[in-house]
A and B are shown apart, each in its own frame.
Chain A
Amino acid sequence: MAVFRRQRSPQLFSSRPAGALRTLFMIATSIMLMVYDHQTGSLKQIHAALATVVWPVQVIVDAPHSLLTWAGEKLATHRALLTENEQLKSQLLQEQATLQQFAALQQENQRLRDLMQAAAQVTGRVSAATILSAALDPFRHLVVIDKGTHDGVYQGQTVLDAYGIVGQVTRADPLASEVTLISDPGQAIQVEVNRTGLRTLAVGNAELSQLTLPYVTNSADIKEGDLVVTSGLGGHYPAGYPVGIITRFDRDPAEPFAHVSARTAADLSSGREVLLFWPSQPPPQTELAPKPAPVIKVVPKSGKKRP
């Protein structure tokens, strides 16, 4: 290790190629970029330009998967297609039967909401997108989808799948967008327990498809298996969509809050198809502000239900 000592062989450490000044300049530029990107988020053009440069890489990485899917579709036999068609038809019939009931329920819900003068449920339209198979930073739960601002995707948009909330668009580039999953350690989502109306927060932790509900008191009425849905407060997510199912509820008298965790309703680990959600009304932030009444009303209701 003596070779490392500067005094013995100074000519070995010629600073020519590194260029101390150049290195310092690059370091300063990187730090400035990070600070700007984090605090102002005003580097949209640079992000968009870089995203366009790396777009081919994402396509190359996704190619084997899409090629396999394509080949599978082309090589599917007539018989297999017929069977699948049959299955899908019967499934559709079942879903339609459920939907009939749903329409009636929705009308009833609307009437009751009118009686209570509560805000209307946010409805909207959805459009499908595919998750590209590129792996992102392993310590964050991010995915890239194949729709961008060209398709009307915007930052903060809600992303769903067939079973529940997937996450939100955290960056919309022209050709692709980055979606942060609800299980990301930096994400929190406003939820309510469907059975009791108890409102709380669900935050992501290190595990994929796992959520923690850190602010549930020991006396709260929660059971394992309870469905947790979005409450719509905060205005980021539309209300009433499934978020997760409670998998653990441990009371700890020594601590102010219970240990509560949930499994995400959406298939975050292996799903490839997601739905982008466009609310039909402007985001409910403005709409919630003048009507605090339903928020107050729900609290005693959850207490009353307890035997």
Chain B
Amino acid sequence: MRELSAPRGVWVIAATYLAALILTVWPLPQWAEVFRPAWVPLVTIYWCLWLPERVGVIIAFFAGLLVDALSGTLLGEHALALVLVAWAALWMHLQVRVFPWWQQCVVVLGILALHALVLFWVDGMLGYTVGAAMRWMPTLVSAALWPWILQVLSRSQQRYHVG
């Protein structure tokens, strides 16, 4: 069945990415800006864990380019970070799938720390070193949000038979 309907539910994956992009630039008050979860990496981690044969480093790369275009960063900065996120998620997707939720949170925290590290590293080379302590906030917030992201995305995956 799965082999027959190869492009099934592509629009669900596209819709989750679109939602993540919108949430990435949704205006927040100044103080809340640093707590904004890393939506696109979270969505990428989910699809790489549960649909590794469909979503991988190439989709992550293009999603990253869109984030770069949206947030005005150097072209390729988020692309590099997301490729590494996708690679890490794909590399251990079989174990993480059977982990209890809190253990998954720890893994997601680790992957997102890698993501933040890449962004921090590139920004550091460009001379944007201010607010260094605040850079880890999105990582912590995103990892704490993982159980809910998991619920929402796996429900929509089941509901629309994305596979």
Q: Are A50 and B65 in contact (CB under 8 A)?
A: yes
* A23 and B87 contacting across the interface, CB-CB below 8 Å: yes
Min CB distance A277 to B, Å, is 21
User: With the chains together, A18 CA to B76 CA distance in Å?
Assistant: 19
User: For A4, what are the chain B residues with a Cβ–Cβ distance below 8 Å?
Assistant: 92, 95
Q: What is the total of A-B residue contacts with beta carbons within 8 Å?
A: 145
Contact between B73 and A137, CB atoms less than 8 A apart: yes
> Is the pair A58, B70 in contact by a Cβ cutoff of 8 Å?
yes
Q: How far is the CB of B144 from chain A (nearest CB, A)?
A: 18
User: Judging by beta carbons under 8 Å apart, are B22 and A38 in contact?
Assistant: no
Q: How far is the CA of A268 from the CA of B70 in the complex (A)?
A: 20
Q: Which residues of B contact A15 (CB under 8 A)?
A: 91
Q: How many Å lie between the Cα of A269 and that of B80 in the bound state?
A: 31
Q: Does A32 lie within 8 Å of B76, measured CB to CB?
A: yes
Contact B72 A58 (CB under 8 A): no
Q: Is the CB of A12 within 8 A of B95?
A: yes
Is the CB of A208 closer than 8 A to any CB of chain B? yes
- Using a Cβ–Cβ cut-off of 8 Å, how many residues does chain A contribute to the interface with B? 52
Bound-complex Cα distance A4 to B107 (A): 11
Smallest CB gap from B120: residue in A? A139
Q: Is B13 part of the binding interface, using a Cβ–Cβ cutoff of 8 Å? A: no
Contact of B122 among A23, A32, A34 (CB under 8 A): A34
A248 contacts chain B at the CB level, 8 A cutoff: no
Stretch from B3-11, B125-133, B146-154, B155-163 contacting the other chain: B125-133
- Chain B residue with Cβ nearest A269: B30
Question: Among the interface residues B22, B26, B75, B79, which one has the most CB atoms of the partner chain A within 10 A?
Answer: B75
A76-84, A119-127, A128-136, A283-291 - the one binding chain B: A128-136
Given contacts A34-B75, A269-B30, A26 and B70 within 8 Å (CB-CB): no
A116, CB-defined interface residue at 8 Å = no
**B130 A139 Cβ-Cβ under 8 A:** yes
Closest to A137 in B: B71
Chain A residues, Cβ within 8 Å of B83: 23, 26-27, 30
Task: Report B93-131 CB contacts with A as 1/0, cut-off 8 Å.
Answer: 111000000000000000000000000001100111011
Assembly CA distance A54 to B65 (angstroms): 10
Would you list the 5 A-B pairs with minimal beta carbon distance, nearest first?
A33-B76, A30-B80, A50-B69, A206-B130, A17-B52
**16 more CB-based (< 8 A) A-B contacts, given A31-B80, A54-B70:** A17-B53, A17-B93, A19-B56, A27-B80, A27-B84, A37-B75, A50-B65, A135-B27, A136-B71, A139-B128, A139-B130, A139-B131, A140-B128, A186-B127, A208-B30, A269-B30
